[in-house]
Amino acid sequence: MNFSLPANAPILLAFGELPDPRKKRNQSYPLIDIIAVTIMGIIADANDFVSVYRWAYFRQDWLISVGLCLNGVPSHDTLNRVFRLLDPKSFHECFLHWVRTIAATVEGVIAIDGKTLCNSGDTFRQKDPLHIVHAFAAENSLLLGQLATDAKSNEITAIPELLKMLTVKGNVITIDAMGCQKEIVKQIREKEGDYVIALKGNQGSLHAEAENFFQQATEVAPEESGCDYASSIEKNRGRIEERQIWSCTPDWLSTEQLEGWIDLRILVCVKSTRTHKGKTTHEFRYYISSLQSTAEQLGQIVRAHWGVENKLHWHLDVSFGEDLCKVRTDHAAENFSLGKKMALNLLKADTSEKLGVPNKRKLAGWSPEYLLKILGVK
Protein backbone atom coordinates (compact mmCIF):
# COMPACT_ATOMS: atom_id res chain seq x y z
CA MET A 1 0.00 0.00 0.00
CA ASN A 2 1.36 3.41 -0.90
CA PHE A 3 0.94 5.30 2.35
CA SER A 4 2.66 8.20 0.72
CA LEU A 5 1.87 11.63 2.02
CA PRO A 6 -0.29 12.18 5.11
CA ALA A 7 0.72 8.89 6.73
CA ASN A 8 4.30 10.19 6.86
CA ALA A 9 3.24 13.31 8.73
CA PRO A 10 4.68 13.38 12.27
CA ILE A 11 1.26 13.88 13.85
CA LEU A 12 -0.09 10.72 12.18
CA LEU A 13 3.02 8.63 12.81
CA ALA A 14 2.47 9.32 16.51
CA PHE A 15 -0.79 7.34 16.37
CA GLY A 16 0.70 4.22 14.80
CA GLU A 17 0.56 2.28 18.10
CA LEU A 18 -2.85 3.55 19.22
CA PRO A 19 -4.97 0.52 20.25
CA ASP A 20 -8.07 -0.01 18.12
CA PRO A 21 -11.08 -0.29 20.48
CA ARG A 22 -13.30 -1.97 17.83
CA LYS A 23 -13.92 -5.66 17.41
CA LYS A 24 -12.24 -7.18 14.33
CA ARG A 25 -15.52 -7.61 12.47
CA ASN A 26 -16.25 -3.89 12.85
CA GLN A 27 -12.93 -2.65 11.48
CA SER A 28 -14.14 -1.74 8.00
CA TYR A 29 -11.83 1.28 7.96
CA PRO A 30 -8.25 1.35 9.30
CA LEU A 31 -7.96 3.31 12.54
CA ILE A 32 -5.26 5.52 11.00
CA ASP A 33 -7.74 6.53 8.27
CA ILE A 34 -10.26 7.62 10.88
CA ILE A 35 -7.69 9.57 12.92
CA ALA A 36 -6.18 11.14 9.78
CA VAL A 37 -9.51 12.13 8.23
CA THR A 38 -10.70 13.66 11.50
CA ILE A 39 -7.58 15.73 12.19
CA MET A 40 -7.30 16.84 8.57
CA GLY A 41 -11.00 17.69 8.44
CA ILE A 42 -10.73 19.79 11.60
CA ILE A 43 -7.76 21.66 10.15
CA ALA A 44 -9.83 22.22 6.98
CA ASP A 45 -12.58 24.09 8.90
CA ALA A 46 -14.83 21.23 10.05
CA ASN A 47 -16.11 21.61 13.63
CA ASP A 48 -18.12 18.40 14.06
CA PHE A 49 -18.21 14.85 12.72
CA VAL A 50 -20.85 15.63 10.09
CA SER A 51 -18.66 18.42 8.69
CA VAL A 52 -15.57 16.19 8.81
CA TYR A 53 -17.42 13.55 6.78
CA ARG A 54 -18.66 16.11 4.22
CA TRP A 55 -15.13 17.46 3.75
CA ALA A 56 -13.72 13.94 3.28
CA TYR A 57 -16.56 12.98 0.91
CA PHE A 58 -15.76 15.87 -1.44
CA ARG A 59 -12.00 15.22 -1.12
CA GLN A 60 -12.27 11.45 -1.54
CA ASP A 61 -10.32 11.25 -4.79
CA TRP A 62 -7.48 13.25 -3.31
CA LEU A 63 -7.49 11.19 -0.10
CA ILE A 64 -7.24 7.99 -2.15
CA SER A 65 -4.39 9.49 -4.16
CA VAL A 66 -2.35 9.91 -0.97
CA GLY A 67 -3.10 6.44 0.36
CA LEU A 68 -6.06 7.10 2.64
CA CYS A 69 -9.74 6.02 2.54
CA LEU A 70 -9.06 3.18 0.10
CA ASN A 71 -12.11 1.42 1.58
CA GLY A 72 -14.25 4.53 1.22
CA VAL A 73 -14.95 7.49 3.48
CA PRO A 74 -16.08 6.63 7.05
CA SER A 75 -19.55 8.01 7.80
CA HIS A 76 -20.04 10.61 10.50
CA ASP A 77 -21.63 7.91 12.66
CA THR A 78 -18.51 5.76 12.29
CA LEU A 79 -16.24 8.68 13.16
CA ASN A 80 -18.33 9.46 16.23
CA ARG A 81 -18.46 5.80 17.31
CA VAL A 82 -14.69 5.33 17.10
CA PHE A 83 -13.93 8.54 18.98
CA ARG A 84 -16.53 7.53 21.53
CA LEU A 85 -14.75 4.20 22.09
CA LEU A 86 -11.12 5.39 21.98
CA ASP A 87 -9.38 5.21 25.34
CA PRO A 88 -8.70 8.88 26.23
CA LYS A 89 -5.55 7.99 28.15
CA SER A 90 -4.02 6.14 25.18
CA PHE A 91 -5.09 8.88 22.78
CA HIS A 92 -3.53 11.50 25.05
CA GLU A 93 -0.29 9.51 25.36
CA CYS A 94 0.01 9.56 21.56
CA PHE A 95 -0.60 13.30 21.65
CA LEU A 96 2.13 13.77 24.27
CA HIS A 97 4.55 11.75 22.12
CA TRP A 98 3.77 13.96 19.13
CA VAL A 99 4.18 17.19 21.13
CA ARG A 100 7.61 16.06 22.28
CA THR A 101 8.67 15.52 18.67
CA ILE A 102 7.70 19.05 17.62
CA ALA A 103 8.76 20.85 20.81
CA ALA A 104 11.67 19.00 22.35
CA THR A 105 12.39 21.94 24.63
CA VAL A 106 9.83 24.28 26.14
CA GLU A 107 11.13 27.24 28.11
CA GLY A 108 9.33 29.94 30.01
CA VAL A 109 5.79 30.06 31.33
CA ILE A 110 3.56 26.99 31.39
CA ALA A 111 0.04 28.17 32.19
CA ILE A 112 -2.37 25.69 33.74
CA ASP A 113 -6.04 26.54 33.48
CA GLY A 114 -9.38 24.81 32.97
CA LYS A 115 -12.21 25.17 30.47
CA THR A 116 -15.71 23.68 30.47
CA LEU A 117 -17.13 22.17 27.27
CA CYS A 118 -20.55 23.73 27.71
CA ASN A 119 -22.53 21.44 25.39
CA SER A 120 -20.83 18.20 26.39
CA GLY A 121 -23.29 17.59 29.23
CA ASP A 122 -26.44 15.51 28.86
CA THR A 123 -29.43 16.43 31.01
CA PHE A 124 -31.32 13.27 30.06
CA ARG A 125 -28.45 11.04 31.22
CA GLN A 126 -27.72 13.35 34.18
CA LYS A 127 -24.21 13.93 32.89
CA ASP A 128 -22.45 17.19 33.75
CA PRO A 129 -20.48 19.10 31.10
CA LEU A 130 -16.88 18.00 30.78
CA HIS A 131 -14.24 20.23 32.37
CA ILE A 132 -10.73 19.99 30.92
CA VAL A 133 -7.56 21.28 32.57
CA HIS A 134 -4.94 22.45 30.08
CA ALA A 135 -1.19 22.95 30.24
CA PHE A 136 -0.22 25.65 27.75
CA ALA A 137 3.28 26.82 26.81
CA ALA A 138 2.75 30.58 26.64
CA GLU A 139 5.83 31.51 24.60
CA ASN A 140 5.36 28.64 22.12
CA SER A 141 1.55 29.04 21.94
CA LEU A 142 1.44 25.26 22.25
CA LEU A 143 -0.85 22.95 24.17
CA LEU A 144 1.36 20.52 26.10
CA GLY A 145 -1.31 18.32 27.64
CA GLN A 146 -4.79 18.09 29.09
CA LEU A 147 -6.76 16.17 31.68
CA ALA A 148 -10.54 15.86 31.86
CA THR A 149 -12.51 16.13 35.10
CA ASP A 150 -16.19 15.84 35.94
CA ALA A 151 -16.42 19.33 37.41
CA LYS A 152 -14.37 22.48 37.93
CA SER A 153 -14.00 21.63 41.63
CA ASN A 154 -11.91 18.61 40.65
CA GLU A 155 -9.13 20.80 39.24
CA ILE A 156 -7.34 20.40 42.58
CA THR A 157 -6.90 16.67 41.93
CA ALA A 158 -6.35 17.03 38.16
CA ILE A 159 -3.49 19.54 38.36
CA PRO A 160 -1.04 17.18 40.16
CA GLU A 161 -1.74 14.45 37.60
CA LEU A 162 -1.15 16.90 34.76
CA LEU A 163 2.10 18.10 36.32
CA LYS A 164 3.36 14.51 36.35
CA MET A 165 3.14 14.48 32.53
CA LEU A 166 5.07 17.73 32.05
CA THR A 167 8.73 18.68 31.97
CA VAL A 168 8.61 21.23 34.77
CA LYS A 169 12.35 21.71 35.34
CA GLY A 170 13.52 25.20 34.42
CA ASN A 171 10.01 26.49 33.70
CA VAL A 172 7.61 28.76 35.55
CA ILE A 173 4.23 27.17 36.32
CA THR A 174 1.35 29.63 36.59
CA ILE A 175 -2.02 28.57 38.02
CA ASP A 176 -5.18 30.37 39.10
CA ALA A 177 -6.33 30.36 42.74
CA MET A 178 -7.88 26.88 42.51
CA GLY A 179 -4.34 25.50 42.32
CA CYS A 180 -3.04 27.48 45.30
CA GLN A 181 -2.38 24.38 47.40
CA LYS A 182 0.66 23.39 49.45
CA GLU A 183 0.93 19.95 47.81
CA ILE A 184 0.92 21.49 44.32
CA VAL A 185 3.63 23.98 45.30
CA LYS A 186 5.67 21.11 46.75
CA GLN A 187 5.30 19.07 43.56
CA ILE A 188 6.46 21.96 41.36
CA ARG A 189 9.55 22.57 43.47
CA GLU A 190 10.39 18.86 43.66
CA LYS A 191 10.34 18.81 39.86
CA GLU A 192 12.73 21.80 39.87
CA GLY A 193 10.26 24.31 38.53
CA ASP A 194 9.23 27.74 39.81
CA TYR A 195 5.71 28.96 40.40
CA VAL A 196 3.54 32.06 40.26
CA ILE A 197 0.12 31.16 41.65
CA ALA A 198 -2.94 33.35 42.23
CA LEU A 199 -3.88 33.86 45.86
CA LYS A 200 -7.51 34.24 46.91
CA GLY A 201 -9.76 33.58 49.86
CA ASN A 202 -9.35 29.80 49.66
CA GLN A 203 -6.10 30.41 51.58
CA GLY A 204 -7.69 32.59 54.23
CA SER A 205 -4.89 33.75 56.54
CA LEU A 206 -2.23 34.03 53.82
CA HIS A 207 -4.60 35.94 51.56
CA ALA A 208 -5.61 38.25 54.43
CA GLU A 209 -1.96 39.00 55.23
CA ALA A 210 -1.20 39.83 51.59
CA GLU A 211 -4.33 41.96 51.23
CA ASN A 212 -3.67 43.93 54.43
CA PHE A 213 -0.03 44.57 53.54
CA PHE A 214 -0.68 45.69 49.98
CA GLN A 215 -3.65 47.87 50.94
CA GLN A 216 -1.18 50.00 52.88
CA ALA A 217 1.61 49.73 50.30
CA THR A 218 -0.58 50.88 47.42
CA GLU A 219 -1.75 53.98 49.27
CA VAL A 220 1.72 55.53 49.47
CA ALA A 221 4.29 56.49 46.89
CA PRO A 222 6.05 53.42 45.38
CA GLU A 223 9.42 54.45 46.79
CA GLU A 224 7.90 54.59 50.29
CA SER A 225 6.04 51.26 50.06
CA GLY A 226 8.98 48.98 50.80
CA CYS A 227 8.21 47.09 47.58
CA ASP A 228 9.66 46.76 44.14
CA TYR A 229 7.32 48.53 41.72
CA ALA A 230 6.52 48.62 38.00
CA SER A 231 3.68 49.92 35.85
CA SER A 232 2.47 49.91 32.27
CA ILE A 233 -0.35 51.49 30.27
CA GLU A 234 -2.12 49.85 27.35
CA LYS A 235 -4.53 51.59 24.98
CA ASN A 236 -6.80 49.60 22.68
CA ARG A 237 -9.92 50.79 20.80
CA GLY A 238 -10.83 53.50 23.25
CA ARG A 239 -10.06 51.35 26.27
CA ILE A 240 -7.21 52.31 28.59
CA GLU A 241 -5.76 49.87 31.10
CA GLU A 242 -3.06 50.72 33.60
CA ARG A 243 -1.34 47.85 35.40
CA GLN A 244 0.62 48.50 38.56
CA ILE A 245 2.70 45.75 40.15
CA TRP A 246 4.12 45.64 43.66
CA SER A 247 6.31 42.76 44.87
CA CYS A 248 7.99 42.17 48.20
CA THR A 249 9.66 39.55 50.37
CA PRO A 250 7.13 38.47 53.03
CA ASP A 251 9.64 38.64 55.90
CA TRP A 252 6.93 39.73 58.35
CA LEU A 253 5.15 36.37 58.08
CA SER A 254 5.74 33.88 60.86
CA THR A 255 7.26 30.44 60.44
CA GLU A 256 3.84 28.94 61.13
CA GLN A 257 2.21 31.03 58.37
CA LEU A 258 4.87 29.99 55.86
CA GLU A 259 4.84 26.33 56.85
CA GLY A 260 4.19 24.07 53.85
CA TRP A 261 4.61 26.88 51.30
CA ILE A 262 7.94 25.64 49.98
CA ASP A 263 10.26 28.42 48.76
CA LEU A 264 7.59 31.12 48.95
CA ARG A 265 9.94 34.04 48.39
CA ILE A 266 7.75 36.80 46.97
CA LEU A 267 4.22 38.17 47.35
CA VAL A 268 2.82 40.09 44.39
CA CYS A 269 -0.02 42.57 43.99
CA VAL A 270 -1.35 43.56 40.57
CA LYS A 271 -3.75 46.50 40.37
CA SER A 272 -5.61 46.91 37.07
CA THR A 273 -7.33 50.23 36.40
CA ARG A 274 -9.57 50.12 33.34
CA THR A 275 -11.22 53.14 31.74
CA HIS A 276 -13.78 52.73 28.97
CA LYS A 277 -16.50 55.12 27.83
CA GLY A 278 -15.94 57.34 30.85
CA LYS A 279 -16.28 54.49 33.35
CA THR A 280 -13.33 53.45 35.50
CA THR A 281 -12.97 50.15 37.39
CA HIS A 282 -10.26 48.83 39.70
CA GLU A 283 -9.23 45.24 40.36
CA PHE A 284 -6.64 43.89 42.79
CA ARG A 285 -5.09 40.44 42.35
CA TYR A 286 -2.54 38.73 44.57
CA TYR A 287 0.05 36.04 43.84
CA ILE A 288 2.68 33.93 45.58
CA SER A 289 5.96 33.06 43.86
CA SER A 290 9.18 31.13 44.33
CA LEU A 291 11.02 33.50 41.97
CA GLN A 292 13.42 36.18 43.13
CA SER A 293 12.37 38.43 40.25
CA THR A 294 11.58 42.11 39.81
CA ALA A 295 8.04 43.47 39.84
CA GLU A 296 8.30 44.09 36.11
CA GLN A 297 9.32 40.49 35.40
CA LEU A 298 6.58 39.10 37.63
CA GLY A 299 4.04 41.33 35.91
CA GLN A 300 5.11 39.91 32.55
CA ILE A 301 4.69 36.36 33.87
CA VAL A 302 1.20 37.13 35.18
CA ARG A 303 0.33 38.63 31.80
CA ALA A 304 1.73 35.57 30.00
CA HIS A 305 -0.60 33.31 32.01
CA TRP A 306 -3.62 34.86 30.34
CA GLY A 307 -2.32 33.66 26.99
CA VAL A 308 -4.15 30.41 27.78
CA GLU A 309 -7.39 32.42 27.58
CA ASN A 310 -6.82 34.44 24.41
CA LYS A 311 -4.52 32.05 22.53
CA LEU A 312 -6.21 28.75 23.40
CA HIS A 313 -9.68 29.04 24.95
CA TRP A 314 -10.76 31.93 22.72
CA HIS A 315 -9.73 30.09 19.56
CA LEU A 316 -11.45 26.89 20.69
CA ASP A 317 -14.73 28.75 21.19
CA VAL A 318 -14.60 31.28 18.35
CA SER A 319 -12.55 29.54 15.65
CA PHE A 320 -13.49 25.92 16.39
CA GLY A 321 -17.00 26.41 17.82
CA GLU A 322 -16.20 24.20 20.82
CA ASP A 323 -18.93 25.59 23.08
CA LEU A 324 -21.51 24.93 20.35
CA CYS A 325 -20.32 21.39 19.61
CA LYS A 326 -22.80 18.74 20.81
CA VAL A 327 -20.43 15.77 20.67
CA ARG A 328 -21.03 14.29 24.11
CA THR A 329 -21.39 10.49 24.24
CA ASP A 330 -18.88 8.44 26.26
CA HIS A 331 -15.31 9.60 25.45
CA ALA A 332 -16.17 11.41 22.21
CA ALA A 333 -16.18 14.93 23.66
CA GLU A 334 -12.77 14.58 25.33
CA ASN A 335 -11.12 12.91 22.33
CA PHE A 336 -12.63 15.23 19.72
CA SER A 337 -11.62 18.24 21.81
CA LEU A 338 -8.04 16.96 21.83
CA GLY A 339 -8.23 16.60 18.04
CA LYS A 340 -9.16 20.29 17.80
CA LYS A 341 -6.18 21.23 19.95
CA MET A 342 -3.86 19.19 17.72
CA ALA A 343 -5.20 21.13 14.76
CA LEU A 344 -4.71 24.44 16.59
CA ASN A 345 -1.11 23.54 17.51
CA LEU A 346 -0.37 22.78 13.85
CA LEU A 347 -2.09 25.90 12.53
CA LYS A 348 -0.25 28.16 14.95
CA ALA A 349 3.08 26.52 14.13
CA ASP A 350 2.72 27.33 10.42
CA THR A 351 4.44 30.56 9.39
CA SER A 352 4.21 30.17 5.62
CA GLU A 353 1.00 32.24 5.43
CA LYS A 354 0.40 35.52 7.23
CA LEU A 355 -3.18 34.68 8.15
CA GLY A 356 -5.18 34.22 11.31
CA VAL A 357 -6.32 30.77 12.41
CA PRO A 358 -9.84 31.02 10.85
CA ASN A 359 -8.44 31.96 7.44
CA LYS A 360 -5.71 29.33 7.62
CA ARG A 361 -8.44 26.73 8.16
CA LYS A 362 -10.38 27.96 5.15
CA LEU A 363 -7.24 27.89 3.02
CA ALA A 364 -6.51 24.32 4.17
CA GLY A 365 -10.03 23.36 3.08
CA TRP A 366 -9.50 24.90 -0.34
CA SER A 367 -5.88 23.83 -0.93
CA PRO A 368 -4.73 20.22 -0.32
CA GLU A 369 -1.15 21.39 -0.84
CA TYR A 370 -1.46 23.86 2.03
CA LEU A 371 -3.10 21.19 4.20
CA LEU A 372 -0.10 18.91 3.67
CA LYS A 373 2.20 21.79 4.56
CA ILE A 374 0.28 22.26 7.82
CA LEU A 375 0.69 18.55 8.55
CA GLY A 376 4.45 18.85 8.10
CA VAL A 377 4.59 16.80 4.91
CA LYS A 378 7.29 18.03 2.55
- Report the SS3 class of residue 17: coil
Least confident range of 11-20, 119-128, 260-269: 119-128
d(CA 246, CA 146): 32
- Report the SS3 class of residue 30: coil
pLDDT digits (tens, 9 = 90+) for 50-82: 999 999 999 999 999 988 888 999 999 999 999
Query: What's the whole-number mean pLDDT along residues 213-224?
Result: 92
Nearest to 272 by CA among 293, 302, 248: 302
Percent share of the chain, pLDDT over 70: 92
Question: 62: burial class by Cβ within 10 Å (0-12, 13-18, 19+)?
Answer: middle
pLDDT digits (tens, 9 = 90+) for 161-171: 999 998 899 99
Sign of the CA dihedral with 174 first, then 180, 182, and 187 last: negative
Asked whether the predicted pLDDT for residue 316 surpasses 50, the reply is yes
Q: Which residues of 117-151 are buried (b: 16+ CB within 10 A; e: fewer)?
A: bebbeeeeeeeebbbbbbbbbbebbbbbbbbbbee
pLDDT band at 3 (very low <50, low <70, confident <90, very high): very low
Least confident range of 5-19, 114-128, 167-181, 296-310: 114-128
* Greatest CA separation for the chain: 76
Residue 192 · residue 168 · CB < 8 Å: yes
Domains, the chain, in order of start with CATH, read 6-87+331-375 (no CATH), 101-314 (3.90.350.10)
**DSSP 8-class letter at 139:** T
Write down the pLDDT at residue 201: 84
Residue 112 · residue 138 · CB < 8 Å: no
pLDDT digits (tens, 9 = 90+) for 78-105: 999 999 999 999 999 999 988 887 766 7
d(CA 91, CA 85): 11
Sign of the CA dihedral with 233 first, then 236, 237, and 239 last: negative
Percent share of the chain, pLDDT over 90: 63
Nearest to 356 by CA among 322, 315, 327: 315
Write down the pLDDT at residue 16: 82
